[in-house]
Amino acid sequence: MEYNQQPTHSIVIGYLAWIFGFFGAHRFYYGKSLSGTIYFLTLGIFFIGWIVDLFLIPMMDREADLRYEPGPIDYNVAWLLLVFLGLFGVHRFYLGKIGTGILYLLTLGFFGLGYIYDLWTLNDQITLINSRYTRHSTGR
């Protein structure tokens, strides 16, 4: 695996999300959707896992930088838009998904289900877009 020189995620945002980590926020941010859901359902595995994660965030940040593709779509901007304006589809507009952005705007994020879907898949959606851009710009 090739190391990405450009970081995709921010450790500062990781720690800010950790403040709400007992709901799994930092785990979703770093692409750990299953454990994020478990944290959401168990209050950070009864707060114990949440405290342990305080020390694991640097490792999660490095793993995310290796796993996800850097490019024109910034993960941090997309996540902030999802968290604060996701029910209105603003993150979808940012990703260039105008049709679903309008649909989210009219239905409050498909009645919240689309918002949950995006919590699970946003990193992969961005990687797909960024890798298309990278392949197109390098001729691969």
Domain boundary among 22, 52, 67: 67
pLDDT confidence of 1, banded at 50, 70, 90?
very low
* 13-47 pLDDT per residue, tens: 999 999 988 899 999 999 999 999 999 999 999 99
**Does 3 have pLDDT greater than 90?**
no
The reply to whether 40 falls in a domain is: yes
- State the residue range of the domain holding 130: 72-140
Burial class (CB in 10 A: 0-12, 13-18, 19+), 33: middle
Q: What is the pLDDT of residues 74-132, one digit of tens each?
A: 999 999 999 999 999 999 999 999 999 999 999 999 999 999 999 999 999 999 999 99
The domain tally of the chain equals 2
Indicate the residue type of 135.
Answer: R
Do residue 133 and residue 81 come from a single domain?
A: yes
Cα dihedral angle (23, 70, 125, 112), rounded to 10 degrees?
Answer: 30
